[in-house]
Chain A
Amino acid sequence: MKKFESKKRHVLPGDFITTAPLRLQGNVVLEGKRVIATSIGLSDVSADSVRVIPLTGVYLPKIDDLVIGTIQYIFGSSWFADINSCYQGMLLGQDVFGRGSYPTTSEMKERLEKGDIIYAKIANSDRQREPLISIADQSLGKIDSGELVKISPTKIPRLIGKHGSMIQTIESSTNATITVGQNGLIVVSCDETNGLLKALAAIRMVDEQAHLVNLTDKVKKMLESDGV
């Protein structure tokens, strides 16, 4: 029984996972004593907790997540960015121009225009208001060049891999720089066309085959082969 449970299983909403009194981590719900999956994905029962790794779903902003967003409009002294979620990211003018400043719209437009792509951090997110985002850090801010790709946000952990193994594999073998947003948006930049195409193909492969095992090896094999 134990061995059976420790294996990751494919589950659909409503599927029974376990009756063990474990901590519920994500995409599971307790109905009486039975733990039930609420999403399509892989069930993961560890020593003290149970969760379902989802294969489909929308991005919900979480504090300290790094996301990629597109500026949509300026309203008052804030920018509003599409962060591929059901909520818009709000970037305060204060965050860019410093505390107590009152930037004019034209000043704001000079910094960030509609359509600009930014790498940002979720500064605050609660149930009441739109999530606050921040670009006040060295690595954050406007992204000037690269190819923007969108994959399912639930597959981002797979793209990064254990301790970043997957993303390092792709980066090192294609010489591409990959900026990954937790919200499913990725910017890939590479000087060589071939490397860029290969990196994009690898990302697409992860998106399609996230539920399979030994994916890092498969991606490695694909990258080492010649054609794309």
Chain B
Amino acid sequence: MGGREANVVLLDENGIRSDGRKVNETRKVTIKAGVLKNASGSAYIEFGGNKILAGVFGPRDVHPKHMSNPDTGILRVRYHMEPFSVDERKKPAPSRREIEISKVIKEALEPAVMLEKFPRTAVDVYLEVLQADGGTRCAALDAASVALADAGIPMRDLVCACASGKAADTLILDVNNEEDQAGQADMPIGYMPNLGKITLLQLDGVLTPDEYKKCIELGLEGCKQVYEIQKKALREKYFSSGDKD
């Protein structure tokens, strides 16, 4: 997407980033659970400028049949960007990048979902990126996890995700589009907060071993903040008129 902008100031002398955030601040995240009537479970997330819709179907019959597993259910994820989600029209066919993201999101969700209760079935997760602004894979993973919980798929934990990275020689939390294009490193992290396990870790760029450790710590902080918002979204749908807890 878009070329480098030569004259963008990623970090000013006061430690304020190009979009007015501090270095350890995430963008504004809002999640709404249960937005689609026809899906078993769904969620809509706004992660800064990212707008992503997630729909979960199933457990249901597997087609083609040869993909089914007699021991367990299978998880299938499709991450897709709408043609209008970016500046220049994106061809709607699945690109190399979308296939990769579908795969990493699937593998990030698999340790959490317990599909062994549903042999010979599939759970389909559809992620539609309506508007992209850097860090869509993390935002999509957050929405997918809420949608799976909304569908009632048994899960060991919710999966929350947030990126950290490096721009203007400083470690930053939640890399946005400009920082991704002109920055030095981008590290998306998927995390199961109650189990304390990382399920997604990618790194694009160069970090020293010391920076790498700090970057993970920073990213996990972001994940925990997102986790609170995920919980709030589910509480709102299921317990809003309740008086307990």
Contact = CB atoms under 8 A, between A and B. Distances in A.
A127 interface: yes
Interface stretch (A5-13, A95-103, A175-183, A219-227): A5-13
B239 A60 contact: no
Given A38-B156, A39-B152, A154-B152, A14 B192 contact: yes
B121 to A, nearest CB: 5
Contact of B149 (A13, A58, A212): A13
Interface string A188-228: 00000000000000000000010111000000000000000
Nearest to A127: B119
A108 interface: no
Contact of A56 (B151, B157, B245): B151
Counting chain A residues whose Cβ lies within 8 A of the other chain, the interface size class is 20 to 34
B242 A56 contact: no
Interface stretch (B56-64, B98-106, B132-140): B56-64
Nearest to A211: B242
B195 interface: yes
Contacts of A13: 112, 149, 154-158
Contacts of A86: 58-61, 118, 121
A57 interface: yes
Contacts of A58: 40, 59, 118, 152
Chain B binding site: helix, strand, loop or mixed by DSSP?
Answer: loop
Contacts of B150: 40, 56
Contact of A10 (B60, B119, B238): B238
Interface in B156-191: 156-158
Interface string A15-56: 110000000000101010000101110000000000000111
Contacts of A128: 70, 119
Nearest to B150: A56
A10 B121 contact: no
A12 B235 contact: yes
B14 interface: no
A28 B154 CA distance: 9
Contacts of B151: 56
B149 A12 contact: yes
B189 to A, nearest CB: 17
Contacts of B231: 12
Nearest to B121: A86
Contacts of A211: 238-239, 242
Interface string B48-68: 000000000011110000000
A29 B114 contact: yes
B83 interface: no
B194 interface: yes
A209 B243 CA distance: 12
Given A13-B155, A60-B117, A212-B242, 16 more contacts: A7-B244, A9-B245, A10-B238, A10-B239, A13-B154, A13-B157, A14-B156, A14-B194, A27-B154, A36-B156, A36-B194, A40-B149, A58-B40, A86-B60, A128-B70, A212-B243
Shortest 6 CB-CB contacts between residues of A and residues of B:
A57-B152, A14-B157, A56-B152, A13-B155, A86-B59, A14-B194
Interface of B: 40-41, 58-61, 70, 112, 114, 117-121, 149-158, 192-195, 231, 234-235, 238-239, 241-245
Interface of A: 7-10, 12-16, 27, 29, 31, 36, 38-40, 54-58, 60, 86-87, 127-128, 154, 209, 211-213
14 contacts: A9-B245, A10-B245, A14-B158, A16-B194, A29-B114, A31-B195, A36-B156, A36-B194, A40-B238, A56-B238, A58-B118, A60-B117, A60-B118, A86-B58
